[in-house]
């Protein structure tokens, strides 16, 4: 394993005879990956730092951010400068370079909403290429870098388009409204939204520095309207989100909780007590055990509700 702090260092590695034919795994913060075994090849941790304003006017700023910057540090930097667009994405672990791969999202906002461009490096040639937002094919926890182009490119920097005034405030999400109310916020601005999101996340989600976890382990499944009706019939209080195409998205955390998994501990691993979508490692558990637990959870959700869960975390 090695770290790189510049794109030139990557090119140097590529030209080195020892590494030229190695399989390569690019790591950001490592906060959305589960190792079930060792990786047979070269692990490169991307620590390319730096941010530059590449253009701005009265209303917007275009900020280029290198891949190795911690995502949350970037969010705080934007809030301190009164640049809007990423405040709902506060306290998400991981690096900026990893963020577009799964189109990180929380509380009604996804990174695709602010991305102007993504700069990548061709893993095999070291050549730098740019992708526009459209070319990234973003979807729910999805992008071209997680699908067709998986392992072909790694992200070296991203360019964000942020607002300097008339910020697009997004507080439709019930949990944000509740928290703003609880914190007696009268002046809703990007700072108060960020503070509210930080409080919600701290209450619900375990800090990966204290308890090993990779955030939501599964994606929220999308089911047909008919399937939704038949589950809703038996479970009238089931939460749901409507999608654009007549389908319905169901919170996987709710499905998992209904199957009795929430807070369950099996030796050194388990299901988080405040959010059933998060699997945790209390210390000495290993990746294989976590993977087995995830399969057991998915089987019981399938059996009880007929719904298939797919993983959000990258499993290696």
Interface positions with ligand EPU (CB under 6 A): 106-107, 175, 204, 215-216, 219-220, 239, 251, 253-254, 257, 262, 275-277, 312
Which residue's CB is nearer to ligand EPU, number 102 or number 157?
102
Cα separation, 208 vs 37, whole angstroms: 20
Cα separation, 202 vs 21, whole angstroms: 43
State phi, psi for 179 to the nearest 5 degrees.
-70, -40
The CA-CA-CA angle for residues 172, 136, 64, to 5°, reads 80
What is the rounded (10 degree) CA torsion for 227, 230, 234, 240?
A: 40
Residue 252, SS3 per DSSP: helix
Helices (H), the chain: 7-15, 71-80, 174-182, 190-204, 225-234, 252-258, 287-305
Which residue's CB is nearer to ligand EPU, number 19 or number 254?
254
Smallest distance from the beta carbon of 156 to ligand EPU, in angstroms?
A: 23
Annotated catalytic, 199?
A: no
Annotated catalytic, 87?
A: no
Smallest distance from the beta carbon of 251 to ligand EPU, in angstroms?
A: 3
Which pair of tokens denotes residue 282?
A: 């209390």
Smallest distance from the beta carbon of 312 to ligand EPU, in angstroms?
A: 5
Annotated catalytic, 312?
A: yes
The CA-CA-CA angle for residues 104, 106, 107, to 5°, reads 160
Which residue's CB is nearer to ligand EPU, number 111 or number 144?
111
Catalytic residue among 90, 192, 216, 294: 216
Neighbours of 270 (CB within 10 A): 21
Which residue's CB is nearer to ligand EPU, number 45 or number 204?
204
Cα separation, 254 vs 95, whole angstroms: 28
Catalytic residue among 47, 110, 116, 312: 312
Which residue's CB is nearer to ligand EPU, number 4 or number 255?
255
Smallest distance from the beta carbon of 104 to ligand EPU, in angstroms?
A: 7
Catalytic residue among 87, 141, 157, 201: 141
Smallest distance from the beta carbon of 98 to ligand EPU, in angstroms?
A: 12
Neighbours of 287 (CB within 10 A): 17
Residues labelled catalytic? 141, 216, 312
């Amino acid at each position: 394993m090695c770290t790189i702090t510049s794109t030139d260092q990557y090119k140097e590695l590529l030209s080195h005879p020892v590494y030229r034919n190695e399989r390569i795994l690019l790591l950001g913060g490592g906060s959305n990956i589960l190792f079930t075994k060792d990786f047979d090849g070269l692990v490169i941790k991307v620590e390319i730092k730096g941010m530059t304003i590449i253009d701005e006017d009265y209303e917007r700023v275009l900020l280029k951010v290198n891949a190795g910057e911690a995502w949350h540090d970037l969010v705080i930097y934007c809030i301190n400068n009164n640049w809007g667009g990423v405040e709902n994405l506060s306290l998400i672990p991981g690096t900026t370079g990893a963020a577009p791969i799964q189109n990180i999202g929380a509380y009604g906002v996804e990174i695709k909403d602010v991305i102007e461009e993504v700069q990548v490096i061709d893993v095999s040639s070291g050549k730098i290429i740019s992708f526009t937002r459209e070319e990234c094919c973003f979807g729910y926890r999805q992008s071209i870098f997680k699908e067709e182009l998986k392992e072909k490119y790694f992200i070296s920097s991203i360019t964000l388009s942020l607002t300097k005034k008339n910020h697009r405030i997004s507080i439709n999400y019930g949990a944000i409204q509740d928290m703003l109310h609880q914190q007696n916020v009268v002046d809703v601005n990007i700072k108060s939204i960020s503070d509210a999101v930080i409080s919600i996340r701290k209450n619900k989600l375990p800090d990966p520095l204290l308890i090993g976890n990779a955030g939501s382990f599964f994606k929220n499944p999308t089911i047909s309207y008919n399937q939704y009706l038949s589950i809703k019939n038996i479970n009238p209080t089931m939460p749901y989100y409507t999608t654009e195409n007549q389908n319905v998205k169901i919170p996987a955390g709710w499905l998992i909780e209904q199957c009795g998994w929430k807070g369950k501990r099996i030796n050194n691993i388990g299901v988080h007590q405040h959010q059933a979508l998060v699997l945790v490692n209390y210390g000495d558990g290993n990746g294989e055990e976590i993977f087995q637990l995830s399969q057991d959870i998915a089987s019981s959700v399938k059996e009880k509700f007929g719904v298939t869960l797919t993983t959000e975390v990258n499993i290696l």
